[in-house]
Structure 1
Amino acid sequence: MTANPMLARARTGVLLLGITPPRRNATPERVAEIASATLARLESLDLDGLVLYDIDDESDRNRDERPFPYLPTVDPAVFHTEYLGRWQRPVVIYRCVGKYAEDEIAAWLRAADPGTMSGVFVGASSRDKPVRTSLARAHTLRGEIRPDLPVGGVAITERYTSGGDEHLRMLAKQERGCTFFISQVVYDVGATKSLVSDYFYACRPRGVEPQPVVFTLSVCGSLKTLAFLRWLGVAVPRWLENALVHSSDPLTESLSQCRANARELADFCRGIGIPFGFNVESVSIRREEIDASVTLAADIGRMLR
């Protein structure tokens, strides 16, 4: 079991909330307002940590029109340090390493506090995308500069479905020092269980312990949000897509399904004995979807505790 304090409860389920920092063109005053409102929402939740996403332009991966425009956001490390000072629990900082120079990543690593912070390194969204720092080089820098900083990797069910080797990618990341995994948004629970099962049983012959897998859940309150999930590559089963499209209240329908998915994934992980958790993603700017994410996090918290 990893010594990461954020994941101390991963045997019985760790709970995180994932948010996107404000837009980079927002005034400092507006960023401060958003931070204050965010902290107020978090007060009622029994969270083990906060996830701060790093957003990159992924148009190279999908040439279709993006349902929501790409807008650069405040650096998640800056947002945490300068605006979320009242947050005293652990934080996970995502790093889309390809858009940073090596010296920028090195500077962040030197400043990171391993006692309260973890990182997740994300590679390029396509093989053809130019990068300033490769994913492998970022892991090497972390090993050289801050080997005590817990770092996680991304797990993608859809990549497992199409290629069948995502569990092997997870093992390779584990060999590079990853001590936990956070999934892309999960709607296809069956395929996700197969991925986790293959990863769990692939650890045995290698003599390594499976690391915690944190499943990302996200409510979908509109057809445009559904289109965005598809644009990101998230597989939404046809029956569920039909339910959301034809529902008079897709947000309530989605919230109910996310609860059911959380219960099924928790039961499965407990059954095979792999540490796990949930990351409830709250990245919408619509108040209804933000509130539903908080409700979902509270519901999952009660289920876990």
Structure 2
Amino acid sequence: MLNNKIEQNKSGYLFYGLTPPKDNTDEEKIHAIASRQIERLKNINLDALVLYDIQDESARTDVPRPFPFMQTLDPGAYSARYLQDLDVPKIIYKSVGKFTQAGFQEWLATNPNQIEYSVFVGSPSTGQEGLSLNDAYEIKESADSKLIIGGVTIPERHFKKQDEHLRVVRKIENGCRFFISQCVYSLDNAKDFLSDYYYHCQDTNTPLAPIIFTLTPCGSVKTLQFMEWLGIYIPKWLKNDLERSEDILSRSLDICKIVAKELLEFSRVKNIPIGFNIESVAIRKAEIDASIDLLREVDMMQRASALKNELLTNKS
């Protein structure tokens, strides 16, 4: 079970991330979307399905949003009502800024969709009304809730502020048991974060919580613009390559595989528990299909890495 794997600080997590349909989608179409999602994933050995709670992040930046924001269905309700036939743990993102203190306490107490795992997400910009992330952690700590919570980590933020590992450790102290990253296209940023996280935890005798790196195929210049708008860092050389590529989707898949391979080896040597969350930020079939192909490929990479580690351990 996922909980046991997390408790034992194991590596090799395989997640897939989904955004629920728009909330104005008619019932028949929602069922059709869910059926296609289940069909794509039912034969893959997933550790968990991640469902995002989408927020309007327009206040975070002055740059116009490449695609218009449209409210989606509540991820917990979508999971409970439409994805029951996909028999894997569901990790539900929860935007805590949508709640008042009383509302969040009630949600934790009733847990209307019987959520077992959740990732709390703060408001996309400072100064917005609603519950803060720290408030949510405190309420969860004082509540009689068995909800297993994770946190978000952003390696790119480490490049700018050099303190992402400390943010992660504080979230561990607040009850987070695992972390899912923002999409990673920069190996250097991810390795720098992992290195500081690893050595800080060694120095302070802090157990390492698993870090799940998100990988996202990019199939068009429009998708690339949207990813950058979301705050995903694309190195300049890679952005140039993708924009000028004759097959941008194939090129981005190659990069995602390189990132996965490099992070697996980097983490294997240091025994850092990691895994991968594969997603598609676009709704084009080609990009969704590419994300499923990447999911299968990363699964094989992780199995090979685990086997290599086992063989080396047995030799020693």
The CA deviation at 1:295 is: 0.5
- 2:233 equivalent among 221, 232, 235: 235
Between the aligned partners of 1:38 and 1:174, the Cα distance in structure 2 is 32
Counterpart AA for 1:29: E
Q: Which residue matches 1:145?
A: 143
Percent identical pairs in the alignment equals 42
Q: Which residue matches 2:128?
A: 129
**Any idea what SS the aligned residue of 1:284 has?**
coil
Q: 1:191 to 1:116 in 2, by over 3 A?
A: same
**Any idea what SS the aligned residue of 1:160 has?**
helix
The question of whether the paired residues in 2 share the 8 Å contact of 1:114 and 1:150 is answered with no
**Any idea what SS the aligned residue of 1:17 has?**
strand
Between the aligned partners of 2:112 and 2:260, the Cα distance in structure 1 is 31
The question of whether the paired residues in 2 share the 8 Å contact of 1:114 and 1:148 is answered with no
Q: What per-residue deviation string (whole Å, max 9, x for no partner) do you get for residues 68-117 of structure 1?
A: 11110000000011111112211110011101233443344234499972
Q: 1:212 to 1:143 in 2, by over 3 A?
A: same
Q: Which residue matches 2:286?
A: 288
Q: 1:110 to 1:276 in 2, by over 3 A?
A: same
The CA deviation at 1:135 is: 0.8
Higher relative contact order (CA 8 A, sep 6+): 1
The question of whether the paired residues in 1 share the 8 Å contact of 2:217 and 2:253 is answered with yes
Q: 1:66 to 1:116 in 2, by over 3 A?
A: closer
**Any idea what SS the aligned residue of 2:257 has?**
helix
**What TM-score, normalized to structure 2?**
0.91
Q: What per-residue deviation string (whole Å, max 9, x for no partner) do you get for residues 240-271 of structure 1?
A: 11111111110011111111110001111111
**Any idea what SS the aligned residue of 1:178 has?**
coil
Where do residues 1-305 of structure 1 align in structure 2 (5 Å cutoff)? Answer: 4-5=3-4, 7=6, 11-112=10-111, 117-130=116-129, 132-305=130-303
Counterpart AA for 1:61: R
The CA deviation at 1:298 is: 0.7
Counterpart AA for 1:301: D
Quick check: 177-186 or 133-142, which moved more? 133-142
The CA deviation at 1:3 is: 7.7
**Any idea what SS the aligned residue of 1:225 has?**
helix
Q: 1:209 to 1:56 in 2, by over 3 A?
A: same
Counterpart AA for 2:95: C
**What TM-score, normalized to structure 1?**
0.94
Between the aligned partners of 1:96 and 1:115, the Cα distance in structure 2 is 17
**Any idea what SS the aligned residue of 1:93 has?**
strand
The CA deviation at 1:27 is: 1.2
Aligned length in residues: 303
The question of whether the paired residues in 1 share the 8 Å contact of 2:80 and 2:113 is answered with no
Q: 1:6 to 1:112 in 2, by over 3 A?
A: farther
The question of whether the paired residues in 2 share the 8 Å contact of 1:219 and 1:254 is answered with yes
**Any idea what SS the aligned residue of 1:154 has?**
strand
Between the aligned partners of 2:283 and 2:14, the Cα distance in structure 1 is 22
Q: What per-residue deviation string (whole Å, max 9, x for no partner) do you get for residues 122-179 of structure 1?
A: 111111222x211112112222224432111111112111111111111111110111
The question of whether the paired residues in 1 share the 8 Å contact of 2:2 and 2:89 is answered with no
Between the aligned partners of 2:222 and 2:9, the Cα distance in structure 1 is 34
Q: Which runs of 5+ in 1 are unaligned?
A: none
Between the aligned partners of 1:12 and 1:115, the Cα distance in structure 2 is 27
Q: 1:291 to 1:249 in 2, by over 3 A?
A: same
**Any idea what SS the aligned residue of 2:178 has?**
strand
Q: 1:172 to 1:81 in 2, by over 3 A?
A: same
Q: 1:92 to 1:254 in 2, by over 3 A?
A: same
**Any idea what SS the aligned residue of 1:197 has?**
helix
Q: Which runs of 5+ in 2 are unaligned?
A: 304-316
The question of whether the paired residues in 1 share the 8 Å contact of 2:184 and 2:190 is answered with yes
